[in-house]
Amino acid sequence: MSTPVYKHYDQASLNHQYNNRELVPNYEEYFELWARLNKETKSNYASINDIPYGPGNNEKLDFYPAAGIGVATMIFIHGGYWQMMARSDFAFIAQAFVPHHIHTVIIGYPLATTVSMDVLIQTVRRALTWIHHNIREYGGDPTRLYLSGHSAGGHLASLMMTDCYAPDDIQLKGVVALSGLYDLIPIQRSHVNEPIGMDEATAIRCSSVPFLPKDVPLILAVGGAESEEYHAQTLTLADRWRDLPKLTTMVLPEVNHFSILSELLQVNSTLYQHIHKMIS
């Protein structure tokens, strides 16, 4: 009988819970869809790319302006288990917001294969601080900043509203965390950690669950077709932060770890409607 390494999971079972490419056999179709949408976005949407917000590797962001001055800004942090993907792979996120007079900023960050998780987190804090200080020059309102993230990006977005990690003097207007990872202990014990090399102390220190949130509206969403562990991640944070005055937890039926991003673009989706209600 295999020895459990986390909860009731042995090593193979835990790895499977966090292997989204195994869990979604047609995952390549979503990458192909994103590539088509990115090409469409780059053809039809104005952008200012490769804006540096810090001196480090990949400390850059892409800005997609909306019509108007002093409008809200949605900042997006991409996923990829902190070790893959890039901001350019998610240009299509602008399609969810720019047509609705919401600037979109997609931030890049150094991957955890090149820096520690602590450094990565501080890089994201630096990005938010830069945006807060400079967004007015791009037609945005620094008092109307929203933050969203998917998967590892959901983890980073949630951290940015905690009493420990929230950037100084910035009051986010709302946070959206999609299929996020808020307790890094199971990640540290799974195959995901092999290229990252977190020890247990780092996993605890860099998790969202141990910390309390600032009073910021929060949408936590997970796909109904995602693994038990992804549901547990969302439910654990929702329970820990249950005293937040404006907390919305959503399980999206038949949605998987990749298709949840498509929900952002569907005007009739529950996720889309909740996000735009938050911003309006």
pTM above 0.85? yes
Q: Determine how many CB atoms are found less than 10 A away from the CB of residue 53.
A: 22
The pLDDT, as a whole number, for residue 182 is 98
Burial class from Cβ neighbours inside 10 Å (0-12, 13-18, 19+) for residue 200 reads: exposed
pLDDT in tens, 70-79: 999 999 999 9
| Confidence band, pLDDT 50/70/90 cuts, at residue 280 | confident
The answer to whether 276 and 148 have CB atoms below 8 angstroms apart is no
The Cα angle at residue 47 between residues 46 and 49, in degrees rounded to 5 = 160
The answer to whether 206 and 188 have CB atoms below 8 angstroms apart is no
* pLDDT of 17 higher than 80: yes
Q: What is the mean pLDDT of residues 17-26?
A: 97
Q: Determine how many CB atoms are found less than 10 A away from the CB of residue 245.
A: 8
- Which run of H or E residues covers position 30? helix 27-44
Q: What is the mean pLDDT of residues 162-189?
A: 97
What gap in Å lies between CA 94 and CA 76, rounded to an integer?
Answer: 9
Helix %, strand %, coil % for the chain, to 5? 40, 20, 40
In the numeric block, the tokens 């962001």 are attached to: 61
Read off φ and ψ for residue 74, nearest 5 degrees: -105, 125
Question: Bridge partners of 80?
Answer: none
| Confidence band, pLDDT 50/70/90 cuts, at residue 2 | confident
What is the percentage of the chain residues whose pLDDT exceeds 90?
98
* pLDDT of 99 higher than 70: yes
The Cα angle at residue 231 between residues 110 and 264, in degrees rounded to 5 = 65
The pLDDT, as a whole number, for residue 90 is 98
pLDDT in tens, 53-63: 999 989 999 99
| Confidence band, pLDDT 50/70/90 cuts, at residue 35 | very high
| Confidence band, pLDDT 50/70/90 cuts, at residue 1 | low
Question: Bridge partners of 146?
Answer: 74, 174
What is the percentage of the chain residues whose pLDDT exceeds 70?
100
* pLDDT of 172 higher than 90: yes
How confident is the prediction for the chain on average, in pLDDT?
A: 97
The pLDDT, as a whole number, for residue 57 is 85
* pLDDT of 137 higher than 80: yes
* pLDDT of 237 higher than 90: yes
Helices 117-134 and 152-159, packing angle to 10 deg:
60
* pLDDT of 6 higher than 70: yes
pLDDT in tens, 203-224: 999 999 999 999 999 999 999 9
